[in-house]
Amino acid sequence: MSLNAQTRWHTFQSQEEINQAALHRILAAADAAIAKYGNFLIVLAGGSTPKAVYQLLAKADADWANWHVYHNDDRCLPVDHVERNSKMARDAWLSHVAIPEHQIHDIPAELGNVDGAKAYAQTLAGVRTFDLVILGLGEDGHTASLFPGHVVNNTADAVPVYHSPKPPADRITISQDRLNNTHEVMFLVTGAGKQEAVDQWRAGVAIPATLIQPPQGVDVYCFGVQLA
């Protein structure tokens, strides 16, 4: 099957519309997974668009006791640093709902990219296929901490990132293979700054985001970009 046949594009007319669509998609995926498996495994993205969705989730009614939360990447900074994805998710959402603490799996990026990646790979060991992975898209086409020109490291479920083109240089990311081991993927793409990356993606250019192609394909939710 071709790349674009596996990539479903959805456009929205306002920030509120895309936020609500993402919210409903997440809650529906949770209900389906809990009905089927008894739990819901979600992988979070950082960034401003996911943050707005997480703030909506903080006010939602869900079977929180059966949610298990992971992160697709994080920056090697102190735990309480404002640019940590884990801190953003906790401040916006996770600290406000009744997900058991032991089911919130932050990447221990404060340990450094090598030791933190090893620790997170151990956390992911034996974890079943994810139910929903949320991803963003950088202006350079990156997703998670999979960057253009970087060798893709699939040696473990979580791997160190060196020399990130966006600071800080040291990061940890879930590997391409593990991100593809999921039932659903939802990209959240907003803002005109993402236009070039979207154009490249739709033209078949091999930007990092195109590495994420699980068997069921991906859904790209867009606002503020044109789909030619």
Q: What are the boundaries of each domain within the chain?
A: 4-223
How far is it, in rounded angstroms, from Cα 209 to Cα 4? Answer: 13
* pLDDT given for residue 111 in this prediction: 98
pLDDT average, residue stretch 176-186: 98
Alpha helices in the chain (DSSP H): 15-37, 48-57, 85-92, 113-124, 176-179, 195-202
Instruction: Label residue 1 by pLDDT band (50, 70, 90).
Output: very low
Which CATH architecture is the domain 4-223 placed in? 3-Layer(aba) Sandwich (3.40)
Residue found by looking up tokens 């391409």 in the block: 176
Examine residue 168 and say whether the peptide bond preceding it is cis (omega within 30 degrees of 0): yes
- Position 5 scores a pLDDT of 52
Q: List, for residues 107-159, the tens digit of each pLDDT value.
A: 999 999 999 999 999 999 999 999 999 999 999 999 999 999 999 999 999 99
Q: Which amino acid is at 154?
A: N
Other C-beta atoms within 10 Å of 59: how many? Answer: 10
| Tens-digit pLDDT profile for residues 164-174 | 998 999 999 99
For 190-217, write each residue's pLDDT tens digit.
Answer: 999 999 999 999 999 999 999 999 999 9
The reported pTM is 0.96
Q: What is the mean pLDDT of residues 170-189?
A: 98
CA dist 158 and 173 (Å) reads 6
Residue 26 contacts residue 132 (beta carbons within 8 Å): yes
Q: What is the pLDDT of residues 149-159, one digit of tens each?
A: 999 999 999 99
Q: Please, which residues have CB within 8 angstroms of residue 139's CB and are 6 or more apart in sequence?
A: 193, 194, 196, 197
Q: What average pLDDT does the segment 171-183 reach? A: 98
